[in-house]
Amino acid sequence: MAFTQRLEGRNLLLVACALAISLVIGIAAGIQPRYGVAAALGLAFAGAVLADLTAGVILFTVLSYLDVVKAGSGAVSFIKLAGLIVFLSWFAAQATRSRQGRASRSLLDASPALSAAVVAFVAWSAISVVWAVSSGTAFSSTYRLLLDVLLFPIVFGAVRRREHVVWLVAAFVVGAVASAMIGLLQSGGARVAGGIGDFDGEAALLVPAMTLGVGLIAALPRGSAWRSLVVLGELIMGAGLLNTGSRGGVVALATVLVAAVLFGGRWRGRAVGIAVLVAVLVPFYVVALAPSGAVQHLSSGSSTGRTDLWRVGLKMWSSNPVGGVGSGNFANAAVQYVESSGPLSRADIIVDVPHVAHNTYLEILDELGVPGLLAFLAIAIASVASALRAARLYERAGDMTFELMSRSVALALLALLSADFFITNEYEHLLWVLLALPPALLAVARAETRAKPALEH
């Protein structure tokens, strides 16, 4: 009897909460329809994420391509709220999982070197608050980095089977295609910024997404409609990439083609053929089809101030080689090194409107010194190595499909990391999702190759 009363009380509480939420959404829609739509979508997202962590990570990945969509006045982006919901879902899953279940699959056990590098990176960022030019900025930057690196255990917990790998890779591709289509439809003949809202940032994400698309095509059944859609998506992303006019994107594309030849394994011959085909088609597209703004930017010798930022950045590092100027403090400190950096053509982007370094590695070096950069490089190297180790396991098992998928993940990471030489990208959620995927992929590969004997080629 008492149990029935408690159950009825809980049902009444749930109904009351549902009515209250509906009332809030209705009021928001009455004030401004877009607020009501955003609230309804957010509620649906929260329900899906809290019900299934894997679904949450997949949705988070797609939405990260549309990070320029803001809530309300723009003070809070929807993706930050989505990230918080994903974290709560992961935390709830960890709290309810048995101790034995947690011990059987641990990120620390699966990738100890990578885990140590992640902890060292965030810890050094936190310590830099002590000597930072602005301790408040350093604290805020460390908080952002902490939220990003939490994606390692979250993705590891969400990706437990090969289907999860396929779904997450598909989320990257779907998000990139949607972003490219937004850019192509809205460009009006100008350069494409896409859903990311930045030319170089859009290009930096399209190249790895195109690379992941190769692995996704291999994982889908031959002749299927889904496979045809991915091929179409590759063409859309390729057009979006070239229409950005991003030189960093072109460098990333060249890097991934060279890396495919070096790490292509049994597909090395095909990689050479694709590289030759791209080398012929890209110049033709740029000359015949790309918008004039993209063509002018690709052919221009101007650095738009990037080399001035790099010169100031190198001077900043030489003055603070070990500790740096503090996490997130490049823009705060750059003005102090203008006079000692020699003649600059674009001092305004340092003094009047302070910019970031437009180089992820230089910015980390300036802000966190050599220890911080070494920690970040250790994370990147360990992540790429995990994907290549997964590829070798699948190669020995005769699983050609997931061998190619694993190699595609490794190459996609190399593409994004090379593009990051031209942009400041250490806070980009998609970078950390992609860095977090290989340890989970390696754990899946180990589990699958232990569970079945090696297949004959």
Domain-embedded: residue 309: no
Q: Are residues 401 and 287 in the same domain?
A: yes
Class of residue 287 by CB neighbours under 10 A (exposed 0-12, middle 13-18, buried 19+): exposed
pLDDT at 103: 47
Work out the mean pLDDT of the chain and round it to a whole number: 83
Domain-embedded: residue 101: no
Q: Are residues 213 and 157 in the same domain?
A: yes
CA nearest neighbour of 333 among 346, 351, 311: 351
Domain-embedded: residue 324: no
Question: What is the domain range of residue 48?
Answer: 2-96
| Tens digit of each residue's pLDDT (9 = 90 or more) over 108-150 | 888 999 999 999 999 999 999 999 999 999 999 999 999 999 9
Q: Are residues 405 and 442 in the same domain?
A: yes
Q: Are residues 239 and 184 in the same domain?
A: yes
Q: Are residues 87 and 123 in the same domain?
A: no
Domain-embedded: residue 336: no
pLDDT at 70: 42
Q: Are residues 120 and 43 in the same domain?
A: no
Task: Report the C-alpha gap between 412 and 433 in whole angstroms.
Answer: 12
Q: Are residues 73 and 130 in the same domain?
A: no
Other Cβ atoms less than 10 A from the Cβ of 73: the count is 6
Banded model confidence at residue 60, pLDDT cuts 50, 70, 90: confident
Class of residue 286 by CB neighbours under 10 A (exposed 0-12, middle 13-18, buried 19+): middle
Q: Are residues 373 and 247 in the same domain?
A: yes
Q: Are residues 133 and 66 in the same domain?
A: no
pLDDT surpassing 70 at residue 23: no
Domain-embedded: residue 245: yes
Q: What amino acid is encoded at 436 in this protein?
A: A
Mean pLDDT of 426-442: 95
| Tens digit of each residue's pLDDT (9 = 90 or more) over 262-300 | 888 888 888 899 889 888 888 888 777 777 777 777 776
Domain-embedded: residue 434: yes
- Determine the Cα angle at 43 with ends 41 and 48, to 5°: 95
Q: Are residues 199 and 58 in the same domain?
A: no
**Where on the phi/psi map is residue 198: left (φ > 0), alpha (ψ -120 to 50), or beta?**
beta
C-beta separation of 294 from 286 below 8 A? yes
Task: Report the C-alpha gap between 226 and 218 in whole angstroms.
Answer: 11
Domain-embedded: residue 312: no
HSE of 325, CA atoms in CB hemisphere, 13 A: 25
| Tens digit of each residue's pLDDT (9 = 90 or more) over 332-359 | 999 898 888 777 777 777 877 788 888 9
Q: Are residues 61 and 168 in the same domain?
A: no
The helix-helix angle for 151-158 and 162-186 (nearest 10°) equals 120
Q: What's the number of domains the chain is made of?
A: 2
Q: Are residues 134 and 67 in the same domain?
A: no
Task: Report the C-alpha gap between 15 and 7 in whole angstroms.
Answer: 12
Domain-embedded: residue 18: yes
